[in-house]
Amino acid sequence: MGKKEKYNVVVVGAMGMVGTEMIKTLERRNFPVNEFRPLDIAANEGKEVKFKGRAYKVLEAASVNFKGIDIAIFSAGGDASAKLAPEAVKQGAVVVDNSSHWRMDPECPLVVPEVNPEDLYWHKGIIANPNCSTIQMLVAMKPLHDYAKIKRIVVSTYQAVSGSGKLAYDGLVDESKEYLETFKPVKPKAYKTQQIAFNCLPHIDVFQEGGYTKEEYKMVNETHKMLDKNIKVNATCVRVPVWYGHSESINIETEKKITRDKAMELLREAPGIKVVDDVDNEIYPTPLMSNEDDLTMVGRIREDLTIEKGLSLWIVSNNIRKGAALNAVEVAETLIKRNIV
Protein backbone atom coordinates (compact mmCIF):
# COMPACT_ATOMS: atom_id res chain seq x y z
CA MET A 1 0.00 0.00 0.00
CA GLY A 2 3.04 2.28 0.02
CA LYS A 3 4.80 3.90 2.93
CA LYS A 4 2.81 6.36 4.99
CA GLU A 5 3.76 8.76 7.72
CA LYS A 6 0.98 7.49 10.01
CA TYR A 7 -1.25 4.45 10.07
CA ASN A 8 -4.81 3.63 11.07
CA VAL A 9 -4.56 1.03 13.85
CA VAL A 10 -7.01 -1.18 15.72
CA VAL A 11 -6.36 -3.22 18.84
CA VAL A 12 -8.75 -6.18 19.04
CA GLY A 13 -9.29 -7.30 22.63
CA ALA A 14 -8.59 -3.79 23.84
CA MET A 15 -10.12 -4.36 27.29
CA GLY A 16 -8.08 -7.47 28.09
CA MET A 17 -4.79 -7.73 29.99
CA VAL A 18 -2.64 -8.02 26.86
CA GLY A 19 -4.78 -5.61 24.84
CA THR A 20 -4.39 -2.98 27.54
CA GLU A 21 -0.63 -3.47 27.43
CA MET A 22 -0.66 -3.25 23.63
CA ILE A 23 -2.28 0.18 23.86
CA LYS A 24 0.29 1.30 26.44
CA THR A 25 3.08 -0.03 24.24
CA LEU A 26 1.84 1.83 21.15
CA GLU A 27 1.82 5.00 23.23
CA ARG A 28 5.13 4.39 24.98
CA ARG A 29 6.94 3.70 21.71
CA ASN A 30 5.28 6.62 19.93
CA PHE A 31 3.94 4.35 17.21
CA PRO A 32 2.93 6.42 14.15
CA VAL A 33 -0.84 6.24 14.69
CA ASN A 34 -3.22 8.31 12.60
CA GLU A 35 -6.59 6.88 13.66
CA PHE A 36 -6.83 4.63 16.73
CA ARG A 37 -9.75 2.24 17.11
CA PRO A 38 -10.20 -0.10 20.14
CA LEU A 39 -12.34 -3.20 19.52
CA ASP A 40 -13.66 -5.82 21.94
CA ILE A 41 -16.63 -8.08 22.58
CA ALA A 42 -20.11 -6.63 22.16
CA ALA A 43 -20.63 -6.53 25.94
CA ASN A 44 -17.80 -3.99 26.23
CA GLU A 45 -19.02 -1.72 23.43
CA GLY A 46 -19.26 1.87 24.60
CA LYS A 47 -16.74 1.50 27.41
CA GLU A 48 -13.70 3.74 27.23
CA VAL A 49 -9.94 3.21 26.96
CA LYS A 50 -7.25 5.88 27.09
CA PHE A 51 -4.65 6.43 24.38
CA LYS A 52 -2.30 9.41 24.36
CA GLY A 53 -4.42 11.28 26.87
CA ARG A 54 -7.67 10.88 24.98
CA ALA A 55 -10.63 8.63 25.76
CA TYR A 56 -11.80 6.32 22.98
CA LYS A 57 -15.07 4.42 23.00
CA VAL A 58 -14.72 0.69 22.45
CA LEU A 59 -16.45 -0.67 19.34
CA GLU A 60 -17.56 -4.23 18.73
CA ALA A 61 -14.99 -6.48 17.08
CA ALA A 62 -16.91 -6.95 13.84
CA SER A 63 -15.98 -6.90 10.17
CA VAL A 64 -17.41 -3.45 9.55
CA ASN A 65 -15.07 -1.88 12.09
CA PHE A 66 -11.94 -2.87 10.16
CA LYS A 67 -12.83 -0.59 7.26
CA GLY A 68 -10.00 1.84 6.51
CA ILE A 69 -7.58 0.15 8.91
CA ASP A 70 -3.92 -0.40 7.96
CA ILE A 71 -2.71 -2.48 10.94
CA ALA A 72 -4.84 -4.70 13.18
CA ILE A 73 -3.21 -6.02 16.34
CA PHE A 74 -5.17 -8.91 17.84
CA SER A 75 -5.28 -10.27 21.37
CA ALA A 76 -8.76 -11.70 21.47
CA GLY A 77 -8.26 -15.47 21.60
CA GLY A 78 -8.03 -18.13 18.92
CA ASP A 79 -11.72 -18.33 17.99
CA ALA A 80 -12.02 -14.59 17.45
CA SER A 81 -8.77 -14.51 15.47
CA ALA A 82 -9.87 -17.42 13.28
CA LYS A 83 -13.07 -15.59 12.38
CA LEU A 84 -12.03 -11.95 12.31
CA ALA A 85 -8.41 -11.89 11.09
CA PRO A 86 -9.36 -12.91 7.52
CA GLU A 87 -12.14 -10.29 7.61
CA ALA A 88 -9.63 -7.61 8.59
CA VAL A 89 -7.35 -8.67 5.73
CA LYS A 90 -10.26 -8.47 3.26
CA GLN A 91 -10.78 -4.88 4.41
CA GLY A 92 -7.14 -4.10 3.60
CA ALA A 93 -5.46 -4.45 7.01
CA VAL A 94 -2.33 -6.36 7.90
CA VAL A 95 -2.99 -8.46 11.01
CA VAL A 96 -0.53 -9.21 13.81
CA ASP A 97 -2.21 -11.92 15.87
CA ASN A 98 -1.28 -12.87 19.42
CA SER A 99 -3.38 -16.05 19.64
CA SER A 100 -2.11 -19.54 18.89
CA HIS A 101 -4.52 -20.04 15.99
CA TRP A 102 -2.28 -18.99 13.08
CA ARG A 103 1.15 -19.85 14.50
CA MET A 104 1.72 -23.15 12.75
CA ASP A 105 -0.22 -22.28 9.59
CA PRO A 106 2.32 -22.68 6.75
CA GLU A 107 0.80 -19.63 5.03
CA CYS A 108 1.49 -17.36 8.03
CA PRO A 109 4.89 -16.12 9.17
CA LEU A 110 5.63 -16.63 12.86
CA VAL A 111 7.96 -13.79 13.82
CA VAL A 112 10.19 -12.41 16.54
CA PRO A 113 11.90 -9.34 15.04
CA GLU A 114 15.25 -10.13 16.71
CA VAL A 115 15.14 -13.69 15.34
CA ASN A 116 13.54 -13.95 11.87
CA PRO A 117 12.34 -10.57 10.54
CA GLU A 118 13.00 -11.75 6.97
CA ASP A 119 9.92 -14.00 7.21
CA LEU A 120 7.73 -10.90 7.17
CA TYR A 121 8.40 -10.51 3.45
CA TRP A 122 6.22 -13.52 2.58
CA HIS A 123 3.20 -12.60 4.68
CA LYS A 124 -0.21 -12.81 3.03
CA GLY A 125 -1.98 -10.51 5.43
CA ILE A 126 -1.66 -12.34 8.75
CA ILE A 127 1.47 -12.54 10.91
CA ALA A 128 1.46 -14.66 14.05
CA ASN A 129 2.98 -13.66 17.37
CA PRO A 130 4.73 -16.67 18.99
CA ASN A 131 4.11 -18.15 22.40
CA CYS A 132 5.53 -16.01 25.22
CA SER A 133 7.93 -18.68 26.49
CA THR A 134 9.27 -19.32 22.98
CA ILE A 135 9.83 -15.61 22.28
CA GLN A 136 12.24 -15.01 25.14
CA MET A 137 14.05 -18.30 24.59
CA LEU A 138 14.71 -17.60 20.92
CA VAL A 139 15.77 -13.98 21.48
CA ALA A 140 18.59 -15.43 23.59
CA MET A 141 19.25 -18.48 21.41
CA LYS A 142 19.55 -16.62 18.09
CA PRO A 143 23.03 -15.06 18.59
CA LEU A 144 24.36 -18.31 20.07
CA HIS A 145 22.93 -20.36 17.21
CA ASP A 146 24.39 -18.01 14.60
CA TYR A 147 27.83 -18.41 16.15
CA ALA A 148 27.97 -22.08 17.13
CA LYS A 149 24.86 -23.85 15.71
CA ILE A 150 22.70 -25.26 18.48
CA LYS A 151 22.08 -29.00 18.25
CA ARG A 152 19.89 -29.49 21.32
CA ILE A 153 17.92 -27.37 23.82
CA VAL A 154 16.62 -28.58 27.18
CA VAL A 155 14.42 -25.94 28.75
CA SER A 156 12.47 -25.77 32.01
CA THR A 157 10.14 -22.80 32.34
CA TYR A 158 8.82 -21.04 35.44
CA GLN A 159 5.83 -19.14 34.10
CA ALA A 160 3.82 -16.36 35.72
CA VAL A 161 0.06 -16.65 36.22
CA SER A 162 -0.64 -13.59 34.07
CA GLY A 163 0.11 -15.85 31.13
CA SER A 164 -3.29 -17.43 31.83
CA GLY A 165 -5.12 -14.10 31.93
CA LYS A 166 -6.81 -11.91 34.51
CA LEU A 167 -8.82 -14.68 36.18
CA ALA A 168 -5.65 -16.56 37.05
CA TYR A 169 -3.96 -13.34 38.16
CA ASP A 170 -6.86 -12.53 40.49
CA GLY A 171 -7.00 -16.16 41.60
CA LEU A 172 -3.42 -16.02 42.85
CA VAL A 173 -4.24 -12.85 44.79
CA ASP A 174 -7.27 -14.45 46.44
CA GLU A 175 -5.58 -17.78 47.15
CA SER A 176 -2.56 -16.08 48.69
CA LYS A 177 -4.69 -14.00 51.05
CA GLU A 178 -6.72 -17.02 52.12
CA TYR A 179 -3.71 -19.29 52.59
CA LEU A 180 -1.88 -16.74 54.73
CA GLU A 181 -4.84 -16.62 57.09
CA THR A 182 -4.96 -20.38 57.71
CA PHE A 183 -1.79 -21.98 56.29
CA LYS A 184 -4.08 -24.75 55.08
CA PRO A 185 -4.80 -25.78 51.48
CA VAL A 186 -7.36 -23.52 49.81
CA LYS A 187 -9.94 -24.11 47.11
CA PRO A 188 -8.28 -23.51 43.73
CA LYS A 189 -9.37 -20.23 42.14
CA ALA A 190 -6.80 -19.75 39.38
CA TYR A 191 -6.60 -23.31 38.02
CA LYS A 192 -8.92 -26.31 38.08
CA THR A 193 -7.43 -28.89 40.41
CA GLN A 194 -4.56 -27.35 42.39
CA GLN A 195 -3.95 -24.09 44.19
CA ILE A 196 -1.13 -22.03 42.69
CA ALA A 197 -0.46 -19.88 45.77
CA PHE A 198 2.83 -21.00 47.36
CA ASN A 199 2.89 -23.90 44.92
CA CYS A 200 4.28 -24.96 41.51
CA LEU A 201 2.24 -26.74 38.86
CA PRO A 202 4.15 -28.70 36.16
CA HIS A 203 1.16 -28.34 33.87
CA ILE A 204 0.50 -25.55 31.34
CA ASP A 205 -2.23 -26.09 28.74
CA VAL A 206 -3.64 -29.55 28.00
CA PHE A 207 -1.72 -32.83 28.12
CA GLN A 208 -1.02 -34.46 24.80
CA GLU A 209 0.83 -37.39 23.28
CA GLY A 210 3.71 -38.80 25.30
CA GLY A 211 2.73 -36.97 28.50
CA TYR A 212 3.87 -33.57 27.21
CA THR A 213 1.61 -30.52 27.34
CA LYS A 214 0.51 -28.36 24.46
CA GLU A 215 2.68 -25.54 25.85
CA GLU A 216 5.73 -27.79 25.71
CA TYR A 217 5.00 -28.81 22.14
CA LYS A 218 4.56 -25.13 21.23
CA MET A 219 8.15 -24.47 22.27
CA VAL A 220 9.34 -27.37 20.12
CA ASN A 221 7.29 -26.57 17.02
CA GLU A 222 7.76 -22.81 17.11
CA THR A 223 11.54 -23.15 17.51
CA HIS A 224 11.58 -25.37 14.44
CA LYS A 225 9.49 -22.91 12.42
CA MET A 226 11.42 -19.77 13.37
CA LEU A 227 15.01 -20.80 14.12
CA ASP A 228 16.04 -24.23 12.82
CA LYS A 229 14.02 -27.39 12.20
CA ASN A 230 17.06 -29.53 13.06
CA ILE A 231 17.38 -28.36 16.69
CA LYS A 232 16.21 -30.99 19.16
CA VAL A 233 14.08 -29.36 21.85
CA ASN A 234 12.82 -30.84 25.10
CA ALA A 235 10.65 -28.64 27.33
CA THR A 236 9.09 -28.86 30.78
CA CYS A 237 6.69 -25.98 31.46
CA VAL A 238 5.80 -25.06 35.03
CA ARG A 239 3.37 -22.48 36.40
CA VAL A 240 4.71 -20.67 39.46
CA PRO A 241 3.11 -18.21 41.95
CA VAL A 242 4.49 -15.09 40.27
CA TRP A 243 2.26 -12.40 38.75
CA TYR A 244 4.48 -11.17 35.91
CA GLY A 245 7.69 -12.45 34.33
CA HIS A 246 8.52 -15.86 32.90
CA SER A 247 11.84 -17.47 33.86
CA GLU A 248 13.62 -20.24 31.99
CA SER A 249 16.50 -22.54 32.82
CA ILE A 250 18.10 -23.49 29.52
CA ASN A 251 20.86 -25.93 28.66
CA ILE A 252 22.16 -26.12 25.09
CA GLU A 253 24.57 -28.32 23.18
CA THR A 254 26.30 -26.73 20.21
CA GLU A 255 28.42 -27.89 17.28
CA LYS A 256 31.18 -25.42 18.20
CA LYS A 257 32.19 -24.73 21.78
CA ILE A 258 31.04 -21.44 23.31
CA THR A 259 32.97 -20.29 26.34
CA ARG A 260 31.25 -18.28 29.04
CA ASP A 261 33.19 -15.17 27.97
CA LYS A 262 32.22 -15.61 24.33
CA ALA A 263 28.59 -16.17 25.24
CA MET A 264 28.62 -12.97 27.30
CA GLU A 265 30.10 -11.08 24.35
CA LEU A 266 27.57 -12.45 21.85
CA LEU A 267 24.60 -11.76 24.11
CA ARG A 268 25.72 -8.22 24.99
CA GLU A 269 25.95 -7.35 21.31
CA ALA A 270 22.59 -8.90 20.37
CA PRO A 271 19.38 -6.84 20.02
CA GLY A 272 16.68 -7.09 22.68
CA ILE A 273 18.95 -8.57 25.35
CA LYS A 274 20.30 -7.31 28.65
CA VAL A 275 23.03 -9.40 30.29
CA VAL A 276 22.48 -9.43 34.06
CA ASP A 277 25.26 -11.66 35.34
CA ASP A 278 27.34 -10.61 38.34
CA VAL A 279 27.31 -13.60 40.65
CA ASP A 280 30.04 -12.13 42.86
CA ASN A 281 27.48 -9.55 43.93
CA GLU A 282 24.52 -11.96 43.68
CA ILE A 283 23.03 -10.11 40.72
CA TYR A 284 21.04 -12.16 38.22
CA PRO A 285 17.67 -11.84 36.44
CA THR A 286 14.46 -12.25 38.44
CA PRO A 287 10.79 -11.90 37.48
CA LEU A 288 10.42 -8.74 39.57
CA MET A 289 13.14 -7.09 37.48
CA SER A 290 11.01 -7.63 34.37
CA ASN A 291 8.06 -5.58 35.61
CA GLU A 292 9.29 -2.37 33.97
CA ASP A 293 11.71 -3.75 31.40
CA ASP A 294 11.15 -4.53 27.72
CA LEU A 295 14.40 -6.45 27.31
CA THR A 296 15.03 -10.16 27.71
CA MET A 297 17.46 -10.59 30.59
CA VAL A 298 20.08 -13.33 30.56
CA GLY A 299 22.27 -14.42 33.47
CA ARG A 300 23.84 -17.39 35.28
CA ILE A 301 25.78 -18.06 32.08
CA ARG A 302 28.10 -21.02 32.61
CA GLU A 303 29.80 -23.80 30.72
CA ASP A 304 28.29 -27.26 31.12
CA LEU A 305 30.20 -29.60 33.45
CA THR A 306 29.00 -32.76 31.69
CA ILE A 307 29.65 -32.15 27.98
CA GLU A 308 32.39 -30.24 26.19
CA LYS A 309 30.16 -28.10 23.98
CA GLY A 310 27.42 -27.26 26.42
CA LEU A 311 26.18 -24.04 27.99
CA SER A 312 23.61 -23.23 30.68
CA LEU A 313 21.69 -19.97 31.01
CA TRP A 314 18.91 -18.38 33.05
CA ILE A 315 16.52 -16.18 31.04
CA VAL A 316 13.78 -13.84 32.31
CA SER A 317 11.35 -11.66 30.39
CA ASN A 318 8.03 -9.97 31.04
CA ASN A 319 5.45 -12.25 29.46
CA ILE A 320 2.83 -9.54 28.95
CA ARG A 321 5.33 -7.08 27.47
CA LYS A 322 7.95 -8.81 25.31
CA GLY A 323 6.07 -12.09 25.51
CA ALA A 324 2.95 -10.60 23.93
CA ALA A 325 2.22 -6.89 23.49
CA LEU A 326 5.71 -5.59 22.79
CA ASN A 327 6.61 -8.30 20.29
CA ALA A 328 3.38 -7.65 18.38
CA VAL A 329 4.06 -3.91 18.24
CA GLU A 330 7.69 -4.54 17.23
CA VAL A 331 6.44 -6.75 14.38
CA ALA A 332 4.25 -3.85 13.22
CA GLU A 333 7.20 -1.45 13.54
CA THR A 334 9.35 -3.78 11.47
CA LEU A 335 6.68 -4.00 8.77
CA ILE A 336 6.74 -0.21 8.54
CA LYS A 337 10.53 0.06 8.64
CA ARG A 338 10.88 -2.45 5.83
CA ASN A 339 8.00 -0.95 3.86
CA ILE A 340 6.00 -4.18 3.75
CA VAL A 341 2.72 -2.99 5.24
Residues annotated as catalytic are 132, 246
CA distances (Å), 27 to each of 19, 50, 54, in order?
A: 13, 10, 11
Give yes or no for a contact between 81 and 99, defined as CB atoms under 8 angstroms apart: yes
Q: How far is it, in rounded angstroms, from Cα 180 to Cα 337?
A: 51
Pairing of the two strands 94-97 and 126-128: parallel
Q: How many CA atoms lie within 13 A of 221 on its CB side?
A: 16
Give yes or no for a contact between 329 and 295, defined as CB atoms under 8 angstroms apart: no
Question: SS3 for 182?
Answer: helix
| 92 phi-psi bin (left φ>0, alpha ψ -120 to 50, beta other) | left
Rg of the chain over all Cα atoms, to the nearest angstrom: 20
Q: How far is it, in rounded angstroms, from Cα 154 to Cα 150?
A: 11
Q: How far is it, in rounded angstroms, from Cα 330 to Cα 121?
A: 15
